[in-house]
Structure 1
Amino acid sequence: MTAEPKGPVSYFPSIEQKYGRPVADWLADLESSGRTGHKDLVDWLKTEHGLGHGHANALVAYHLNPGKWPAYPPA
């Protein structure tokens, strides 16, 4: 039995379902955005891509802390 994902990863299935794009695409967009700060990245996702605050925050938290959270998608 697999444990339920914790932290930002727990939002990823609903992000993919709601916005129709894989998380890997969102992370690539964050990487290529040229932005660095947490708030700046969250605001950019909300303004430019229409993400809700919780979804944008989860993607940015994962992006800025790459080894802290489990890999996604899970193996």
Structure 2
Amino acid sequence: MNDEPVKGPASYFPSIEKKYGRPISEWQALLRERLPAKHMELVAMLKNDHGMGHGHANALVAHTLSQDKG
């Protein structure tokens, strides 16, 4: 078991789920539906269409895109 705190974009995930009421997997699916959009286009979509703050939107997009790069 790893007791180290989560770092990087994923550290925002608990507060994103709490504040916006959807699991991270749903947000990631929403982002992936819009690919191959650019990073900042996806951030803007989350902010404009879903009222997400910049830090949360940026963290979610960064983490999702890095996962998809493999």
Distance of 1:34 and 1:5 partners within structure 2: 27
Distance of 2:68 and 2:25 partners within structure 1: 15
Q: Which runs of 4+ in 1 moved over 6 A?
A: none
Q: Which structure has greater helix proportion?
A: 2
User: Runs of 5+ in structure 1 lacking a partner?
Assistant: 69-75
What amino acid is the match of 2:9? P
Distance of 2:51 and 2:34 partners within structure 1: 15
RMSD of aligned C-alpha atoms? 1.7
How many pairs were matched up?
Answer: 68
How does the TM-score come out when normalised to structure 2? Answer: 0.89
Q: Mapping of 1:30-41 within 5 angstroms?
A: 30-41=31-42
Percent of pairs identical after alignment?
A: 54
SS of the residue corresponding to residue 67 of structure 2 reads coil
Give the corresponding residue for 1:60: 61
The reply on whether 1:29 has 2:67 as its aligned counterpart is no
